[in-house]
Amino acid sequence: MVVVPSILSFFFYVSFLAIWLGLNEINVATLGLPEELWRSFLFFPHAVRVLSAVYLGWLAFPGLLFGHLLSWYVIFDDITLLQTLAITVSACGCNLAVMLLQSSYIGPNATNLRSFNERLYRHVFLVGLVGSLIISTVNGIFLFSPVGGTLLDPMMTLRFIVGDMLGLVTTIFLIALVRAYVRSYYLKDSD
């Protein structure tokens, strides 16, 4: 049963990453701004990490890890051991956020695919924020300090958090629109 959630999370992560890369290229080409400004803006794959952690749990982790590794290799052509550690944190950061929030009685107790409703949105956003804090902080330490910089760049961490949350909010908004349209379409046909 681990195979289906892993395949789903892998497919959606890679698909959302391709959309994000395409949007980055369009932004850089049309506005002529440096790529660094757009690299962490509206990071759609974070929504896949959050929704996989909330709805599929640790069963989605192998697919997310493989999606992260493949994406990193395709974009940068090389993966070091230090980058593998950062990629592993990226793949499991939202699952760690779910565990942390569940242990503090704030997060969702148990979720499944049928429980995607308005009440759960606040938990999804909270998991997204805490997961983004974990991922951006750890990745900032892993990826920035070996280059000779300080231990952590607060501006880079803030850019990652803002981009992750904007990607999550936009994705949730689009899912809610599609869900409302489908529901109204099928309710209209039944009348």
Q: 0.85 exceeded by the pTM? A: no
pLDDT of residue 56: 87
pLDDT of residue 150: 57
pLDDT of residue 100: 87
pLDDT of residue 35: 65
Structure-block tokens of residue 52: 């996989």
Residues 6+ away with beta carbon under 8 Å from 65? 87, 88, 91, 92
- Longest pairwise C-alpha distance within the chain: 66
Alpha carbons 60 and 43: distance in angstroms, whole number: 19
The CA–CA distances, whole Å, from 90 to 120, 126, 136 equal 23, 17, 8
Q: How do residues 7-45 score in pLDDT, each as one tens digit?
A: 999 999 999 988 888 888 887 778 776 666 666 778 889
Q: What is the DSSP string of 103-142?
A: HTT-S-S---GGG-SHHHHHHHHHHHHHHHHHHHHHHHHH
Residues 23/42, Cβ–Cβ less than 8 Å: yes
Alpha carbons 63 and 104: distance in angstroms, whole number: 27
Per-residue pLDDT in tens (0 to 9) along the chain, 191 residues: 678 889 999 999 999 988 888 888 887 778 776 666 666 778 889 999 999 998 888 999 999 999 999 988 888 788 888 788 888 999 999 999 988 887 876 655 555 444 555 567 778 888 899 999 999 888 877 766 555 555 677 787 888 899 899 999 999 899 888 888 888 887 765 55
- Alpha carbon 32 to its chain centroid, in Å, reads 26
pLDDT of residue 115: 52
